[in-house]
Structure 1
Amino acid sequence: MVTTVASRVESLSSSGIQAIPKEYVRPEEELTSMGNVFEEEKKEEGPQVPTIDLRDIDSKDSEVRDKCREELKKAAMGWGVMHLVNHGISDDLIDRVKKAGEAFFNQPIEEKEKYANDQATGQIQGYGSKLANNTSGQLEWEDYFFHLVYPEDKRDMSIWPKTPSDYTEATSEYARQLRDLATKILSVLSLGLGLEEGRLEKEVGGLEELLLQMKINYYPKCPQPELALGVEAHTDISALTFILHNMVPGLQLFYEGKWVTAKCVPNSIIMHIGDTIEILSNGKYKSILHRGKVNKEKVRISWAVFCEPPKEKIILKPLPETVSETEPAQFPPRTFQQHIHYKLFKKTQTLEDPTK
Structure 2
Amino acid sequence: MESERDNNTSLPLASSTLGGSADVPVVDLSVTDEGFLVREVTKASEEWGVFQVVNHGIPTELMLQLQMAGKQFFELPEAEKETVAKEEDFEGFKRNYLGGINNWDEHLFHRLSPPSIINYKYWPKNPPQYREVTEEYTKHMRRLTEKILGWLSEGLGLPRETFTKSIGGETAEYVLRINFYPPTQNTDLTIGAAAHTDMGAIALLIPNEVPGLQAFKDEQWLDLNYVNSAVVVIIGDQLMRMTNGRFKNVLHRAKTDQERLRISWPVFVAPRADMSVGPLPELTGDDNPPKFETLIYNDYIDQKIKGWALEDLPVY
Q: Could you tell me the TM-score, scaled by structure 2's length?
A: 0.89
Q: Percent identity?
A: 34
1: CA distance, partners of 2:116 / 2:216: 37
- Change in CA separation of 1:153 and 1:85 when aligned onto 2, cut-off 3 Å: same
Q: Is the contact made by 1:150 and 1:176 (CA closer than 8 Å) also made in structure 2?
A: no
What does 1:37-48 correspond to in 2, within 5 Å? Answer: 43=20, 47-48=22-23
Match of 1:352 in 2: none
Partner deviation per Cα, 1:97-131 (whole Å, 9 max, x = no partner) = 0000000011111211111112xxx3321101465
2:301 aligned with 1:326 = no
SS class of match (2:76): coil
SS class of match (2:13): helix
Question: How far 1:152 sits from its partner (Å)?
Answer: 2.6
* Deviates further, 157-166 or 251-260: 157-166
1: CA distance, partners of 2:154 / 2:13: 39
2: CA distance, partners of 1:325 / 1:138: 46
Match of 1:23 in 2: none
SS class of match (1:270): strand
Q: Unaligned 5+ residue runs, structure 1? A: 1-28, 348-356
Match of 1:51 in 2: 26
Q: 2:226 aligns with which of 251, 264, 278?
A: 264
- Change in CA separation of 1:49 and 1:151 when aligned onto 2, cut-off 3 Å: same
Partner deviation per Cα, 1:143-184 (whole Å, 9 max, x = no partner) = 100000112343111221111111111110000111011111
Question: How far 1:327 sits from its partner (Å)?
Answer: 2.1
2: CA distance, partners of 1:89 / 1:131: 31
Match of 1:18 in 2: none
Give the letter for the 1:53 counterpart.
Answer: D
Match of 2:42 in 1: 73
Of Structure 1 and Structure 2, which has the larger fraction of its residues in strand? 2
What does 1:1-356 correspond to in 2, within 5 Å? Answer: 30-33=13-16, 43=20, 47-56=22-31, 59=32, 64-118=33-87, 122-129=88-95, 131-132=97-98, 138-207=101-170, 209-312=171-274, 314-346=275-307
Question: How far 1:205 sits from its partner (Å)?
Answer: 0.5
Q: Which of 1 and 2 has greater Rg?
A: 1
Q: Is the contact made by 1:81 and 1:271 (CA closer than 8 Å) also made in structure 2?
A: yes
Q: Is the contact made by 1:183 and 1:201 (CA closer than 8 Å) also made in structure 2?
A: yes
Give the letter for the 1:283 counterpart.
Answer: G
Aligned residues: 297
2: CA distance, partners of 1:291 / 1:141: 12
- Change in CA separation of 1:323 and 1:170 when aligned onto 2, cut-off 3 Å: same
Q: Could you tell me the TM-score, scaled by structure 1's length?
A: 0.80
Q: Is the contact made by 1:82 and 1:272 (CA closer than 8 Å) also made in structure 2?
A: yes
